[in-house]
Chain A
Amino acid sequence: AQKVTQAQTEISVVEKEDVTLDCVYETRDTTYYLFWYKQPPSGELVFLIRRNSFDEQNEISGRYSWNFQKSTSSFNFTITASQVVDSAVYFCALSEAVASNYQLIWGAGTKLIIKP
C-alpha cells in the first residue's frame, strides 16, 4: 500500500501565483517524521523541511509554508508569489520510527512549472 501520496503529477502556474502541493501519508506509527525535498533540473535533492508527528504547528519560511494536519494525514506545501526559480520536482517523504526503521518513504513527486 502506498504510504505517501502526491496526487498531483504536474502543476503549471504563472509566476506570482500561489500554489499548493498536496501530500497525504499513511502510517500506524505514533512517532514519525515528514519531509519535503526540492529537486531542480540540475538533479540535486535539496532538503526543505522536517516535521515530527508531535508538532502540528504550521511553519513559514519566506514564501514557503507548510500545513501539517494529523486529522487528515496531510502535510501540504504552499509557495506564495511563485517564481520561475521554484520550478522543480518536489518530493514529500515519510520516516517511521518502527515500521520503516527511519528510512525515507518517498512520494512519487510533483513537477512544478512556473511560467514567466
Chain B
Amino acid sequence: DTEVTQTPKHLVMGMTNKKSLKCEQHMGHRAMYWYKQKAKKPPELMFVYSYEKLSINESVPSRFSPECPNSSLLNLHLHALQPEDSALYLCASSQDLFARPQHFGDGTRLSIL
C-alpha cells in the first residue's frame, strides 16, 4: 500500500466539466508535487508546493489549478480540459524540497472525451 493516497483512481470527463483530483499524505512531508505522465514517457513536473505555498509552476495552462488546503492535502482542479490532457496524474510528497526521495501515489488515470 502506498502512503500517498490519490482519488479518484479513474476519471472520465467532458471538455466542459469541472472536476478535482485529490491527494493526501500523512508522513509529515512538507513538499508535495503534481506530475503528468503520458504513456511510455517519464513524469512531467506540473506544480510543487513547499510548506503549503506554491513553489514551482512549470508553465502549466490555467485550466489546471492547484490548491494546498493544509500540509497533508493537495488538490488539482480541472476545468475545460482538452483531449491532449488525457494522462496519468501522479501526486508525490517528500520531506522537503532538497533532493529527498519522493513518494508517489497510485495516480489518477484521466480521460477527456
- Report B101 CB to chain A, min CB distance, Å: 4
Any chain A CB within 8 A of the CB of B102?
yes
Chain B residue numbers with a CB within 8 Å of A44 are 2, 90, 104-107
Q: Mark B65-94, 1 if CB is under 8 A from A, else 0.
A: 000000000000000000000001010100
Smallest CB-CB A-B distances: 6 pairs: A106-B42, A45-B104, A33-B99, A95-B99, A47-B101, A44-B106
Known: A43-B88, A50-B99. 20 other contacts (CB 8 A): A33-B99, A35-B101, A43-B90, A43-B106, A43-B109, A44-B2, A44-B106, A93-B42, A95-B99, A97-B99, A101-B97, A102-B98, A103-B48, A103-B56, A104-B102, A107-B42, A108-B41, A108-B42, A109-B40, A109-B42
**Segment 66-116 of A: residues with Cβ below 8 Å from B:** 91, 93, 95, 97, 101-104, 106-109
